Amino acid sequence: MGREVSESCVDSLLTEMVSSYCDRFYANKPELAARRIEAIGFQVGHQLSERYTMERPRFSDNLEAIKFICKDFWSELFKKQIDNLKTNHKGTFVLQDNRFRWLARMSIDPSSEDGDLSQDNSAPVTENKAAQATSMHLYFPCGIIRGALSNLGIPCAVSADISSLPACELLVMECIRLYLLSYAHCIAFISTARYSFFSQSRSSCMIIVIFHPCISERALRFR
């Protein structure tokens, strides 16, 4: 299909989507907005994976599918490949992109809103605000990856973390587990709700505590 759209249109669309969902539709419920954006990403990823696996032979295992995501899928979407892929060989993969295209044009306003912060505190505070502001923009690509992998037969949960602005890391965890991410703002992602908390067998990090105050029982039964 030969139709092209300019990249600035895609950037504007994504920015507008995040701002509509966060500021208008679900104004005081950021976790609901995040879930909706991630669901949109899921559908897009589902359909894109159909298109981009069209000419290829079938994948023989999960690692090949993840490598497809890192190389071909990422090149089709972002014109570059993933810079670093790490795995613990137990179903968790970390994809690192040192210059994520959709974050490349974002910057954080360095002046903080509270005028009475001392100079010492400003660096970690602005980093915190940066993480908060940009984390909403990462739900869509997480959804895309989750949709693509689930269409290839690998149910998983995907979460993202930003260390420094245009670099980001995406953590892909194959299903069935409830995880705690060890960052200051903890978010628990659940991929299938069919298994109870205590049925972990292979994983060594059997963590059940959830820090995020907004995750409720309803969220735990999500999907």
Partner 1 sequence: MIVCVAVVGHQNNPLYIQSFTEADDALKLHHIVHCSLDVIDERVNNPKKSGPTLNETFLGLLYPTENYKVYGYLTNTKVKFIVVTTDLDVRDADVRNFFRKFHVAYVDAVSNPFHVPGKKITSRTFAERVSTIVKSFGLSSAG
Question: Contact residues for partner 1 (CB under 8 A)?
Answer: 1, 43, 46-47, 49-51, 53-54, 56-60, 151-153
Distance of closest approach, residue 61 Cβ to partner 1, in angstroms: 10
State which residue, 53 or 134, has the beta carbon closest to partner 1.
53
State which residue, 57 or 115, has the beta carbon closest to partner 1.
57
Give Dmax over CA atoms of the chain in angstroms: 60
In contact, 156 and 53? CB cutoff 8 Å: no
Distance of closest approach, residue 64 Cβ to partner 1, in angstroms: 9
State which residue, 72 or 127, has the beta carbon closest to partner 1.
72
CA 221 – CA 59 distance, rounded (Å): 31
State which residue, 61 or 114, has the beta carbon closest to partner 1.
61
User: Residue 42 burial (CB < 10 Å; 0-12/13-18/19+)?
Assistant: buried
Distance of closest approach, residue 82 Cβ to partner 1, in angstroms: 19
State which residue, 124 or 153, has the beta carbon closest to partner 1.
153
Question: Tokens 């299903």 sit at which residue?
Answer: 175
The closest alpha carbon to 222, from 38, 14, 45, 22, belongs to: 38
User: Residue 16 burial (CB < 10 Å; 0-12/13-18/19+)?
Assistant: exposed
State which residue, 98 or 151, has the beta carbon closest to partner 1.
151
Distance of closest approach, residue 155 Cβ to partner 1, in angstroms: 12
Residues 6 or more apart in contact with residue 129 via CB below 8 angstroms = 108, 112
In contact, 159 and 181? CB cutoff 8 Å: yes
Distance of closest approach, residue 45 Cβ to partner 1, in angstroms: 11
Distance of closest approach, residue 40 Cβ to partner 1, in angstroms: 10
Residues 6 or more apart in contact with residue 96 via CB below 8 angstroms = 82, 83, 84, 85, 86, 167, 168, 169, 170
Can you name the residues that pair with 168 across neighbouring β-strands? 97, 162
